[in-house]
Amino acid sequence: MRILLLGAPGAGKGTHAKLICESLNIPHISTGDIFRDNIRKNTFLGIQARSYMEKGELVPDELTVAAVKNRLEKEDCSSGFLLDGFPRNINQAGNLNKMLSDTNQRIDAVLFMEAPDKLILERLTERRYCSKCGRIYNNKFNPSEVEGVCDSCGDVLLQRKDDKKEVILERLAIYNKTIKPLVDLYNILGLLHKIEVTNNIEEVFYKISKTLEAV
Ligand code: AMP
């Protein structure tokens, strides 16, 4: 199955992407994770992406599309994948469409995770991640058992640089400007499924599972 996950930063895309991918046994491809990984490794892509990400801006399409193309060509994507955080604008959607049609593939479902801005802000400022295994927590809604320590691997929990309030506001402004045309596009194509987000992870995942079963 080939799935796209759309939604504001903090809507829970990362958390649900992991759950969906485990249940369908498909790779989770997050452009944000690809960039963060490249920044950690100090690659050429990482050096280029860093300044945009730290300001909350989008990394230029040329770089982003090339990174996704490279990832989708890997063997593990041949029978399906979930794209999280891509496409972020109409140009990227067009490029994705071309990549897939060139290899006789098509998107099966686009999940649009809808959440009010207030909930998003609350979640992002309290979001923490494990510096080792990447597990995501929220100090308020999904805390680790011991504050600041990962339940899975015991490593330290950190806050993403772009989860600071000024950067979040910039990311949300960009998101709100670019999401509507994408939602309209996938709606017209009959692929869009709206998932209303709440703070209850099980409830949201249940809605997602039911939606995917019906595709
Ligand atoms: P995310 O982890 O999806 O919230 O993405 C974190 C940051 O990575 C974004 O604020 C952008 O700077 C960059 N990024 C992730 N995905 C994309 C994309 N599809 N296009 C451009 N920039 C992206």
The string of pLDDT tens digits covering residues 136-152 is: 999 988 899 999 999 99
- Could you report the per-residue pLDDT of 56-76, keeping only the tens digit for each? 999 999 999 999 999 999 999
Domain coordinates of the chain in residue numbers?
Answer: 2-116+165-213
Distance 85 CA to ligand 1 centre (A): 6
- Find the length of the chain: 215
**What residues are annotated to the active site?**
13, 88, 127, 160, 171
**Cβ of 95 less than 6 Å from ligand 1:** no
The neighbour count for residue 1, using CB atoms within 10 Å, is 15
Instruction: Spell out the SS3 assignment of 13-68.
Output: HHHHHHHHHHHHCCCEEEHHHHHHHHHHCCCHHHHHHHHHHHHCCCCCHHHHHHHH
Which atom of ligand 1 lies closest to the CA of 87?
19
Q: Indicate the pTM of the whole model.
A: 0.89
Q: Look at residue 141 in the predicted model and tell me its pLDDT.
A: 86
- Distance in angstroms (rounded) separating the CA atoms of residues 44 and 47: 5
Distance 59 CA to ligand 1 centre (A): 7
Distance 30 CA to ligand 1 centre (A): 9
Look over the chain and give the mean of its residue pLDDT values, rounded to a whole number. Answer: 94
Q: Which CATH class is domain 2-116+165-213?
A: alpha beta
Q: Look at residue 166 in the predicted model and tell me its pLDDT.
A: 87
**Cβ of 58 less than 6 Å from ligand 1:** yes
Q: Look at residue 118 in the predicted model and tell me its pLDDT.
A: 84
